[in-house]
Structure 1
Amino acid sequence: MKRIGALLVVLSLALTGCETKPSLQKYFVENSDNKEFLAVDISPSIINVDKVALSTEEKKALESFKKMNVLAFKADGKNQQEFDVERSKVKEILKDPTYQELVKAGNGKDGAAIYFVGDTDHISEFVLYGCKSENGFAVARIIGDNMNPNDVMALFGLMKKGNIDMEQLKPLQQLMGKP
């Protein structure tokens, strides 16, 4: 009986002593109600392809897409210090080996990058990050099942080809200053 009690104490100490590393998912949850951020969840229904003939590749891409989460920080003259802190947090999270860099463009502070989680044929998440010092930054998580880079390219093609549900994008339009 004492052994079981000692084992439970050791197990509970081990579990409570574990460090939880930061992740984009945690970052999104922590900041979704922050007034400096805009959080938008986009469902696959944004791509309205009811009247569009889809290729086999496009059907596969659409079926693998589950949702997209967008978190954006709008920079202005009043929140530059907070902007710098939050941008650093996101960059630090994206340095984790979980997020594999696919493409990067731009310089140190301004630019864009695409990351993925998983292996090249079984990707569970694509991460799009873009930052422009005077405007702010945005992080988009495209979440799906067994995606690959071709699937994401097919999804972007479908967005052009299909009828986009602009209602889901209204919060982002407001962030960019469009009515």
Structure 2
Amino acid sequence: MQRTFKYLCLTILTTVLFISCGDGVSLQRYYVENQENANFISQDFPISMLKIDKSSFTDAQQEAYNSVQKLNFLGFNASKDNIENYTAEITKVKSILSHEKYNDLMEVSDKGRKIMVKYIGEDDAADEVVVFATDKNMGFGIVRVLGNDMNPEKIGVLINSLQNADFDGAQIENIMNFFK
């Protein structure tokens, strides 16, 4: 009887572990699986490395900037030779980002470029903000913004302001060269 009870408990525990682990692909797993792929470039860096000119930031932008600690970048270089692979990878990323844990923050389309911003967490405190940008001629990039007590609305304002910000381009030169 005691032996049967042990087997029953072990079976239930094993079942719970398998169910909780899940087989879903996460963005983190996608990064890890592709960081060594020749079509991809991966780089992690603290936001301070960008040396952004914050002199014209509003208080909300400054607060959002200070809440960000590091950025994880993964980019795919599109070319005529890998258009099918490019399309397949876009589909994978969109599938991951369509999961219910990702909340929509904003979407922008301009001159064939699309930018989608999503976040994980609550409306007043995001655990992670994800920026997914595509360009048929260059490829796509995913930036995971990681920090503490990030306010998604303020991060959205910060992202908009960074489009015209003055920053040291040498810091991300190898990423830009990858897409040439």
User: In structure 2, which of residues 91, 96, 102 is the aligned counterpart of residue 99 of structure 1?
Assistant: 102
Matches within 5 A, 1:41-60: 41-48=44-51, 57=60, 60=63
Q: Secondary structure at the match of 1:78?
A: helix
Q: CA RMSD in A?
A: 2.9
Question: Contact 2:53/2:165 (CA < 8 Å) preserved in 1?
Answer: no
- Paired with 1:50 and 1:77, the residues of 2 have a C-alpha distance of 37
Question: Contact 1:61/1:155 (CA < 8 Å) preserved in 2?
Answer: no
Question: Contact 1:61/1:154 (CA < 8 Å) preserved in 2?
Answer: yes
The one-letter amino acid of 1:36's match is N
Q: Deviations over 1:122-175 (max 9, x none)?
A: 01111111112222111111111111121453477579667x454541221212
TM-score of the two chains, using structure 1 as the length reference: 0.81
How many residue pairs end up in the alignment? 175
- Structure 1: unaligned runs, 5 residues or longer: none
Distance change (3 Å), C-alpha of 1:84 and 1:161: closer
Q: Secondary structure at the match of 1:28?
A: helix
TM-score of the two chains, using structure 2 as the length reference: 0.80
Question: Contact 2:49/2:171 (CA < 8 Å) preserved in 1?
Answer: yes
Identity among equivalent pairs (%): 26
Question: Contact 1:129/1:139 (CA < 8 Å) preserved in 2?
Answer: yes
Matches within 5 A, 1:71-86: 71-86=74-89
